[in-house]
Amino acid sequence: MKKPASLSLFEVVLVGPQNAANIGAVARAMLNMGLERLVLVAPVCDPRAPEAERMARDARPLLEKAVVVETIEEALAECHYAVGTTARQGKRRDAALTVRQAAPELIGKACKGHRIALVFGPEDRGLSAAHLARCQEGITIPTAGFKSLNLAQAVMIVAYELLLAAGESCVRKEPQRAAPLGRQEALLQDLQKVLLEIGYLDAQNPEHLMLDLRRLFGRAGLSEREVNILRGMVRQIRWAAGKQFRVQPSGCDKEHR
């Protein structure tokens, strides 16, 4: 799967990480899912320790480029939006969206050029209320049982949902090409003729209603195949109508005046 460009606007922020191996595993998860920027807030271990590099494997360059800062305020200073991960819900906390619910909105923000921080807390206790207060939104990862996830697992799940959400807009098939305007105009002319013949249009002012039909077809962006289908339907209607209809003033058209 080709990496969606919108993912380059995301950064993973680890607050107070305690285990070097976890930092390495986070770097590897990020590389798997297309995230590139790692920020470490006041780590209590050496982020470049041998166990970190061992867990990072091919993500060692990402690990080497990790930015280390002292406070969450520094980590978020250049971001436009911050999302804090939490497993806790309380009376004083806004209801957190699941990561799957939040992902499309976050990708939408990234597509507008917003840098977004994905903030994760220390392994033993998660983000504090003070840390979450620095985030504009809280997200949670639903589980069937024990709520606490390994740090790298949490990063992987969040990054995976973002990759899927970004991929929905980046790898879907291109919309089918609209038929040339000349073909669409031919359809409209055929349609106008048959609507006049069956008395649906006002013969004195057929364009009054045809203008609305032009706008409708314009919004639809009809493909070549769709135009051919509709022209065939119009010809069949015209054949079936035969000579039994006579052009006469139309009440239907008058209703649209």
Residue 175: inside a domain, yes or no? no
Q: How many domains does the structure of the chain reveal?
A: 2
CA distances from 100 to 28, 80, 122, 159 (A): 21, 21, 22, 10
Per the model's pLDDT, the better-predicted residue between 203 and 20 turns out to be: 20
pLDDT tens per residue, range 26-84: 999 999 999 999 999 999 999 999 999 999 999 999 999 999 999 998 998 888 888 99
The whole domain housing 194 covers 181-255
Residue 176: inside a domain, yes or no? no
Same domain, yes or no, for 123 and 247?
A: no
Token pair in block for residue 135: 């985030």
Same domain, yes or no, for 41 and 113?
A: yes
Strands (E), 91-235: 97-98, 116-120, 137-140
| pTM reported for the whole predicted model | 0.65
**What 3-state DSSP class applies to 91?**
coil
Same domain, yes or no, for 217 and 151?
A: no
pLDDT at 167: 80
**What 3-state DSSP class applies to 14?**
strand
pLDDT at 224: 82
Query: Is the confidence at residue 176, as pLDDT, over 80?
Result: no
